[in-house]
Chain A
Amino acid sequence: MQVDGVQSLITDAIIASLPVGALAIDRQGEIILANAAASNMLGYPVDQLLGNGWGTLFLEQPANAAFNQVLLDVIWHESDRLQRTVAYTRPDGETVYLAITSSFLRDRQTVVGIVVILDDITALQNVHLKEKSWLAEKSRLHQERAEGLRRLAMAVAHQVRNPTAAIGGMAHRIQKKMGQAEAVQTYCREIHQAVTRLETIVKAVDAYVALPAAQPRWFKAAAFFQGLNQEAQQWAAAHGSPIRYRCHIQPAAIYADPTLLRLALREIIYNALENTTGPGAITLEAADHTVQLTIRVTDTGKGIAPADLPFIFDPFFTTKVAGVGMGLCLAAKIVQDLEGSITVHSQPGAGTMVAIKLPHPVET
């Protein structure tokens, strides 16, 4: 046997046993090569593919317009390795998902033909669709819960605001009318303190329900984190906390709503500052992983007890005597509005790490 004949035999054997489908079309539009995998994917016997043209086999089926368009785009644009994933309905009615790579072949001024490589990704596509549907359902349930909570919070804030103001005002008038009687003064002071706390709660709930809709845009990361850094330093100085504050920012620009993101990070950082007493450290890191932005706030504070961890994003949950417990709840809502996720890892006595992950497009 001639060397060319041996090579041809080997090539044919390789193509026949490929797990991906292979088709070759000559300059007259005739399918001159089709392997078994292509036959299985397209639902035509090999001998029905060979000698026929794309036009008579596939073009008349309107459901396969996207599939056919791949070949037409390759011809129209004389494309090299055009890649596209499309649905394809076989003659038996079954729909499969094919990843297609196709090239227009030209030798100088002469059209040689087209090669088409097919990969059946139906199983993978079905997993993706199932996952997408599950995530959409999860998001819908979360949105419903968040909306219910928002309406409840709005109603409670509205109902509590007026009686609180009345109680505070009346306590003030009683205090003035009753003179310097020590017991009355003490009672009035306590009423005042309780009213002040109620007003703080109402303000926190108001801030929660009044969050604006997210308006994402590109902004410079360095200036944004510099601003947060300054606020944290001022807070730490005001509270006499000798805390070291470190910042590691990798992306030059971030795509998000800067106002909302600042609000969320401020709450997380303040929480970290409150939990870190003595010569502790707080580290703020931001990293862009192509389609995801990760921001981590890590402190070396007292940590969170495992029993408290499941509740830290719930409204009004706090372990502090003076706290309202809406800060992390607000941060979680903002992250949810930005279509991201927030997680917390904590070790009592060693510190806490809060991680925010946001979908992040590639900057163009």
Chain B
Amino acid sequence: MEFYEEIGNTAAILKLVGRLDSPVVKDLKNKVNDLIRQGQVNLVFDMADVDFMDSSGLGGMVAALRAVGQAGGDIKVARLQPRVRTLFELTRLHQVFQIFQDVEAAAQSF
């Protein structure tokens, strides 16, 4: 999985590319912790290019949300692929993460 970050006015955009599964969960956590250390606690995950997630990947996102929450921030999710969106819905994570159709709307929501 690859990560591309862009610091915006209202939030840091983290674009995730590839499979979000157990081998890369630690990388995601490290990335989020780095952003928190830089003072970036409002994050948008751009997930347009995430084509697979397993239980560790979803668990890693919940853990990341908890970490930024403790720092006073939040994670918004944008551009989910249909099958990934179904995962969010049937695990009820769409009630935990705010989901947006596009990255700009997600960033503006903070």
Contacts and interface: CB of A to CB of B under 8 A. Distances in A.
A17 to B, nearest CB: 27
B62 A72 contact: no
Interface string A18-31: 00000001011110
Contact of A52 (B53, B54, B92): B92
A60 B62 contact: yes
B86 A75 contact: yes
B59 interface: yes
Contacts of B86: 75, 111
Interface string B38-49: 000000000000
Contacts of B96: 53, 55-56
A276 B58 CA distance: 70
B105 interface: no
B87 A76 contact: yes
Size class of A's contact patch? 20 to 34
B92 A30 contact: yes
Contacts of B58: 55, 59, 68, 72
Contacts, number: 77
A69 interface: yes
Contacts of B54: 65, 69, 72
B10 interface: no
A28 B89 CA distance: 6
Contacts of B94: 29
A314 to B, nearest CB: 52
Given A29-B90, A55-B88, A69-B54, 4 more contacts: A53-B91, A54-B92, A61-B59, A65-B22
Interface of B: 22, 53-56, 58-59, 62-63, 66, 83, 86-96
Rank and list the top 3 A-B pairs by shortest CB-CB distance, nearest first.
Answer: A53-B92, A29-B92, A68-B55
